[in-house]
Chains A and B, each alone.
Chain A
């Protein structure tokens, strides 16, 4: 089976500082991979390197493209990479306003990716927008409202709908539940789990919240100071942490 994403020795430096280094893994279709670590551990740098927002200094990030199979997204041309960003990839930002157009209605936000791939029928675009708003539990009567009128949780769900409308195969998520209150987090987690199950999404989720990865991720990578210090199945890593830092991380979680 071909991996959906093949990451090989990716490294990114900020001058003499290490952003992340020696990261390698394969992600297969339908898998959800969590990346945890404290602030500054390099997890967001890694995510941005994988999603094409940053150019790594070393290594290869190969994506299984529909047309030509595995292609290194770092060396492919910018138009190709941006095309991937609009079609097969999705990026869910921690702050919904980074991923939304705040001066465009909810329907326009969801429809943008469709129009970017040349959908030119208003009725059909709107129908897809309504469908996707429904899937993220936003009722149709919000479709013409701007996201500025939405609550934080709704904005985040709108961002997810906007990203998934073109049927991406790989979703990058940067702290998707960060900054939301716990009940909204729970709803979002349930939603993401359902979407992963229904449409067979693969995802890479960066978070510092171990509870989130336990519930969403099949696999886990623990990062510290730019290095991957432990990786494995989520429950293996969390229930039986081998590295001292992971043990510290797991034992630092507040129990309710």
Chain B
């Protein structure tokens, strides 16, 4: 048992955050303001996600953290240890075993179940911010459902790059009403936003929480003549051979050698354990991991 209150935040704060979460779930895609607290980490490192996680964690939960799909990066490891220490919850790297997953920039490849919660870290919750700097104005635009501006961003993409070049934080419309920034996940993940699990989005610095209840209708914006297309590198994973997962590109030497590998490390490792091998991968050995 640690000296901290369960999951670091005091009970009143957690209650306040839970109220914001409930409101967010009641109005899918709507950004609920909340009194974001100072956390023992810098803004931009996931303070919003951590506060949401702290508010939803119970002692029985199993917690998983991914950063760009990986369980073993600094940020993921620190946050996982943070809750291990302050909440004493069980942690895991296996998607299927986790009940609460905090994520930065990815949705796990494996489909989530209705008893799982996905918590996103959000840097800029306002999808209209790119074009309209005034918060007063963007709130009014949400209130009156004036979303023409969002298409201006996509128009700019096509005119500058010949195609919708927005590859992450691709704007979506939720239940035919609110325009929402799905956080900087690749647009490859956008179709997965309609899922069985509960999705909660926390922006610490911007003090906003929003949410998607299970199976909420989420539509990615597009033009009639430039339909939305989830994209990934046209390659298979060099480690596990998967052709359907989202890939990271890795430069491996000074001669331009490179390899592609799943960004979701748990997904990749699970496949390799099952015996799948990519072109540069070695057969999985239990002790090598």
Per the CB under 8 Å rule, do A and B touch in the complex? yes
Chain A residues proximal to chain B, CB less than 8 Å: 78-79, 82, 86, 101, 103-105, 107-108, 111-113, 115-118, 120-123, 125-126, 143-144
Taking a contact as CB atoms under 8 Å apart, the answer to whether A115 and B160 are in contact is: no
Which range contains the number of B residues in contact with the other chain? Answer: 10 to 19
Q: Verify B148–A117 contact, CB threshold 8 A.
A: yes
B137-175 at interface with A (beta carbon < 8 Å): 144, 146, 148-149, 151-152, 155-156, 158-160
Task: Give CA–CA (A150, B155) in the complex, Å.
Answer: 20
Q: How far is the CA of A143 from the CA of B224 in the complex (A)?
A: 21
Question: Are A111 and B225 in contact, with the CB atoms below 8 A?
Answer: no
Given contacts A101-B131, A104-B131, contact A122 B148 (CB under 8 A): no
- CB neighbours (8 Å) of B131 from chain A are 101, 103-104
18 A-B pairs in the complex with CB atoms less than 8 angstroms apart: A78-B144, A79-B144, A82-B144, A82-B146, A107-B159, A108-B155, A111-B155, A112-B148, A112-B149, A112-B152, A115-B148, A118-B148, A120-B224, A121-B224, A121-B225, A123-B225, A126-B155, A144-B160
Known: A82-B146, A122-B155. 13 other contacts (CB 8 A): A86-B146, A101-B152, A104-B156, A107-B155, A108-B152, A112-B149, A115-B151, A115-B152, A122-B223, A126-B155, A143-B159, A144-B159, A144-B160
Q: Chain B 82-124, CB within 8 Å of chain A: the 1/0 string?
A: 0000000000000000000000000000000000000000000
Min CB–CB distance B60 → chain A (angstroms): 47
Question: Is B226 in contact with chain A by the CB < 8 A criterion?
Answer: yes
Residues of B within 8 A of A118 (CB): 148
Bound CA span A143–B160, Å: 10
A78 to B139, CA, bound (A): 14
- Complex CA distance for A79 and B143, rounded to whole angstroms: 9
B156: nearest residue on chain A (CB-CB)? Answer: A108
In the complex formed, the residue of B with least CB distance to A121 is B224
Q: Are A116 and B159 in contact, with the CB atoms below 8 A? A: no
Inter-chain contact A104/B152, CB cutoff 8 Å:
yes
Q: Which residue of A lies closest to B151 (CB)?
A: A115
The smallest beta-carbon distance between B96 and chain A, in angstroms, is 40
With A and B bound together, what is the CA distance between A107 and B160 in angstroms?
A: 11
Residues of B within 8 A of A78 (CB): 144
Which of chain B's residues have a CB closer than 8 A to the CB of A86?
A: 146, 148
A122 CA / B227 CA spacing, docked (Å): 10
Smallest Cβ-Cβ distance to A82: which chain B residue: B144
Q: What B residues does A113 contact at CB under 8 A?
A: 148
Known contacts A101-B131, A105-B160: A125-B148 contact under CB 8 Å: no
Q: Which 5 A/B pairs are nearest by Cβ-Cβ distance?
A: A116-B148, A115-B151, A115-B148, A122-B223, A121-B224
Structural contact, A116 and B226, CB atoms closer than 8 A: no
Q: A78-B144, A108-B155, A121-B223 are in contact. Are A116 and B160 (CB under 8 A)?
A: no
Q: Which residues of A contact B144 (CB under 8 A)?
A: 78-79, 82
- Write the nearest CB–CB distance from A182 to chain B, whole angstroms: 34
Q: Are A120 and B152 in contact (CB under 8 A)?
A: no
Q: How far is the CA of A178 from the CA of B245 in the complex (A)?
A: 58
Residue among B144, B146, B155 with most chain A CB within 10 A: B155
Contact residues in A for B226 (Cβ distance below 8 Å): 122
Q: Which of B207-226 contact A (CB under 8 A)?
A: 223-226
Known: A112-B148, A112-B149. A120 touches B223 (CB 8 A): yes
Nearest CB of chain A from residue B32's CB, rounded to whole Å: 22
Q: Which residues of B contact A101 (CB under 8 A)?
A: 131, 152
| A114 to B255 CA separation, bound complex (whole angstroms) | 49
Cα separation A117 to B149 with both chains bound (whole Å): 10
- A82 CA / B131 CA spacing, docked (Å): 18
Q: Which residues of A contact B156 (CB under 8 A)?
A: 104-105, 108
Which residues on the A side are within 8 Å of B152 (C-beta)? 101, 104, 108, 111-112, 115
Q: Closest chain B residue to A126 by CB distance?
A: B159
Point out the residue from A82, A103, A117, A125 that lies within 8 Å of B155, measured CB to CB.
A125
